[in-house]
Amino acid sequence: MPFSFLQFWKKAEPKSKVPVSEIPLFSALGPAELELIESKIRRVEYKKGDVVYRIGEKAEAFYLILLGRFRVIGIKGETLAVLSQGDYFGESSILLGRDHSATVETKNDGLVFKIDKKDFQELLTAIPSLSLHLSRTLGHRLTRGVSRTEVSSTKVISICDYGFDFEKSIFAQNLAAMLAVHGKKKTIVLGLESRNESRFSVQKGHTLPLLHFQSANSEHIQKLIYEERAGFHFLRVGNGVNGGEASSGMAALIGFLIDRYDFVLLDLPPDFRDIGVKALQQSDLVYFLVRETQRTSAKALSFLKEFRTSFGFTSDEVRFIVCEEKYSQPAMGKPMFGEAEAFPVFGFLPYEADLYEPHDASRPAFDLENSASKYTKAIRFFTRELTGRLVGLALGSGAAFGFAHVGVLRVLEREGISIDMVAGSSIGALIGAMWASGLNAQALEEIALSLDHKSTFFKLIGFQDLLLPHDGFFKGDQVTRFLRHYLGRKTFRVLEIPVKIVASNLFTGEEVIFDEGDVVDAIRASISIPGIFRPVRMHDQYLIDGGVVDPLPIEVLSRYGVKKIIAVNVLSASEDHAQRQRFYEARKAEEEEAIKKRSLMGRAWYYLASRLKGRYRANVFNVLMNTIQFLEYGIAESAARGADVVIHPVLTDAHWAEFYSGAKLIRRGEEETLNQLSEIKKLVEESV
């Protein structure tokens, strides 16, 4: 298979080589536009502590973050924001023609796309959709009196839908309640009405007309705001306004509210005319709710695409949420449907029958009264993402070295450190998914210790798994049976923690992320070590080990809104391999010294065994695994710059195939996590 072989080596490069098309800001652009942008950009590296620019300096460039984290510092030295992968800065000063109003420095080693001021201005002229997006974001930030660099703490979120009636409003009010009570954020819901339409009950107060609205009449507005028992506020807005009146009125109203609230949720009317359109133009994010039965609808997908491009939203600014229905059954396999790839599912809303029952207005919102429900857990997840509190755990590839992940999990459990999302490649996917299924670290350790010298081969591979070496040495059926014993037919939606499992497309070198369907099938794809296990065929794709393209899936967590990331890299650096070789040689010297005391026959047998062992040390399995891991470490090292804490538990007296040495590998993971515990606690202390 020469083609797949070449693709495999071609893709084995650091994540710093991110194509322009994979950047959310540019994801909706065409080939010619992407080529133009590529001709203007420079990749620039910064070391920890480097200053990109200072307050008062002239604007010289636009910056877009590929790797690392950058701190925005105010005039008094205070941290205004921490920007990460996909964020950008510097554009406000260029567009407004003024000097920088904040300092930006690197929090850890970073890599950016840099576009010089002149080239940036040319791109805005040549690419209308890019200009539209930046104008929109700048416009609604100026409404608040701040630029993007002077990041405002207030978020304006539009909530819209495709094919719903009142479910969207229920979602808006439950999200507002969770933000107010558990997020401790002052939140208001604006119920926006089209002309001659009223969707909200009379007890919510009178409608605020936008006609001739002036932000100075604050006393009148305050009287119209209804305070919900659940802790958030509600304001009904509308009354027959359109055109320029709607535009100026909505901008003025948003400007009034952002000085008083942390979150402004806009419950949009069924159509997007009049004030609905103007509200979208003032929004930072959009939550787009779609029924599960309509998620593959060509009409719905076309509508979503048009919606995003019309308003200049990037792919990560539209949160695509699939709502389960009473009689709908989730697909067992991960959907693969053309245009949907441009709109990855951000989350799911489980069906709850009680949501559709009449509720006493004096009672709190559903999600506050039903803390154990799946619906509430989903709302809580969205709340933590919006408030920047999500804590993610990236578990890397590394064959048997991955047993160190269990030691990491043991410390996190013991210290009461909660994880909101797990992303894993290869052995990291296997352990992360089993942990998220409800098996705690103690249970995982017992499973690991059940593998000894005699049973490991038969439990994980076995003679019945052998293949003629065409597409692999082993079928992988035995390891699937092993996993089924513990996971059964569990799907991602029943896992206690959201999990993202990474595999690689053999023929394109693309990353494939599993977060739906059968968990064991996803793990089996992710652990398909090239040449050792047969590739998994799924949805007309051939999938191999996820570590080939993403051995430390930090970027995956960032893509799903995780701001606080702990990464575990169990792969060995070049110096670790050198130390392992020195250990091997020292042990061999000790053995040779000890063998001198044996009989002539004993020495003969030793030297014969030693020669055979040395000859077969470079067997095909070692050749494949060592080569793969050498390359994966370079990718993982580059990706690690996107994490806040990196745990690197490496043992130089262990081998990648020592699945029977779980105890020492787990212990090593525990030791390294304890060494980093203070940093981990510091990271998550604001996430509780």
CB count in 10 Å sphere of residue 173: 22
- In angstroms, the CA 592 to CA 584 distance is 12
Of 93, 283, 315, 426, the catalytic one is 426
Kindly write down the DSSP assignment for every residue of 61-86, as one continuous string: EEEEEEES-EEEE-TTS-EEEEE-TT
Give Cα separations from 184 to 179, 188, 456, 564, 637 (angstroms).
6, 13, 50, 19, 37
Token pair in block for residue 359: 């509720």
SS3 128: helix
CB count in 10 Å sphere of residue 326: 8
545 is catalytic: yes
- In angstroms, the CA 613 to CA 414 distance is 42
Give Cα separations from 302 to 272, 294, 339 (angstroms).
16, 12, 8
Burial of 103 (0-12, 13-18, 19+ CB in 10 A): buried
**C-alpha triplet 395, 400, 405: angle, nearest 5°:** 30
504 is catalytic: no
Q: Among candidates 557, 536, 542, 581, which has minimal Cα distance to 428?
A: 557
Tell me whether strands 187-192 and 263-267 are parallel, antiparallel or unpaired.
parallel
Q: Which helix (H) or strand (E) holds 512?
A: strand 511-514
Q: Among candidates 589, 528, 526, which has minimal Cα distance to 556?
A: 526
Contact 680, 421 (CB under 8 A): no
State the sign of the Cα–Cα–Cα–Cα dihedral 357, 360, 364, 369: negative
β-pair partners for 254: none
Contact 531, 403 (CB under 8 A): no
Q: Among candidates 533, 555, 554, 547, which has minimal Cα distance to 502?
A: 547
Contact 70, 82 (CB under 8 A): yes
- In angstroms, the CA 518 to CA 516 distance is 7
The amino acid at 229: R
Contact 177, 381 (CB under 8 A): no
β-pair partners for 575: none
Look up residue 535 and give its DSSP letter: P
CB count in 10 Å sphere of residue 538: 19
Q: How far apart are the first and last CA of the chain?
A: 51
Q: Which helix (H) or strand (E) holds 620?
A: helix 620-639
Ranges of beta strands (E only) in 573-636 are none
- In angstroms, the CA 583 to CA 568 distance is 24
- In angstroms, the CA 45 to CA 41 distance is 13
Token pair in block for residue 338: 């053309």
Q: Which helix (H) or strand (E) holds 40?
A: helix 31-40
Q: How far is CA 608 from the centre of its chain?
A: 53
Residue written as token pair 């925005």: 72
- In angstroms, the CA 208 to CA 239 distance is 7
Of 109, 545, 550, 644, the catalytic one is 545
Q: In this structure, what are the phi and psi dihedrals at residue 603, rounded to the nearest 5 degrees?
A: -65, -40
SS3 129: helix
Active-site residue list: 426, 545
